[in-house]
C-alpha cells in the first residue's frame, strides 16, 4: 500500500468515524478513536454492502459505506456496554 493510499484510507476512516459520531447519540471517541471506528466501519460496511449486492464507487461512496458500517459498529458497541 502506498503512502497516498494509506493517507486516503485514514482520511476516509476519520471522516466516516466523525460522521458516525455526529449521527449516533453520544457518539465520538476523539480523533484517533473516530479513525479506528471509521476504518473498522469501512470493513463492516463494505462486507454488508457487498453481501447485499450494493456497490458504491468513488470517494463519496467509500465515505457513505464506511459511515454506515461505523454507525452499525457504534450501535453494537453501545449494546455491549449496556450488558
**Residue in the block written with cell 493517507:** 7
Residue-number span of the structural domain to which 63 is assigned: 3-82
User: Mind listing the pLDDT tens digit for each residue in 5-33?
Assistant: 888 888 888 899 889 988 887 766 777 88
Quote the crossing angle between the two packed helices 30-51 and 58-82, to the nearest 10°: 110
Measuring CA to CA, which residue among 23, 32, 11, 31 is closest to residue 74?
Answer: 23
Q: How far is CA 13 from the centre of its chain?
A: 6
Distance from C-alpha of 75 to C-alpha of 58, rounded to nearest angstrom: 26
Task: Name the pTM for this structure.
Answer: 0.84
User: Mind listing the pLDDT tens digit for each residue in 38-83?
Assistant: 889 988 998 999 999 998 888 899 899 999 999 999 888 888 988 8
Q: Count how many domains the chain has.
A: 1
Amino acid at each position: 500500500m502506498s503512502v497516498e493510499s494509506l493517507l486516503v484510507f485514514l482520511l476516509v476512516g476519520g471522516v466516516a468515524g466523525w460522521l458516525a459520531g455526529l449521527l449516533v447519540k453520544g457518539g465520538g471517541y476523539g480523533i484517533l478513536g473516530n479513525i479506528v471506528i471509521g476504518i473498522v466501519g469501512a470493513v463492516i460496511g463494505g462486507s454488508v454492502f457487498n453481501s447485499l449486492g450494493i456497490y458504491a464507487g468513488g470517494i463519496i461512496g467509500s465515505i457513505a459505506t464506511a459511515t454506515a458500517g461505523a454507525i452499525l459498529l457504534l450501535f453494537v458497541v453501545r449494546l455491549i456496554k449496556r450488558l
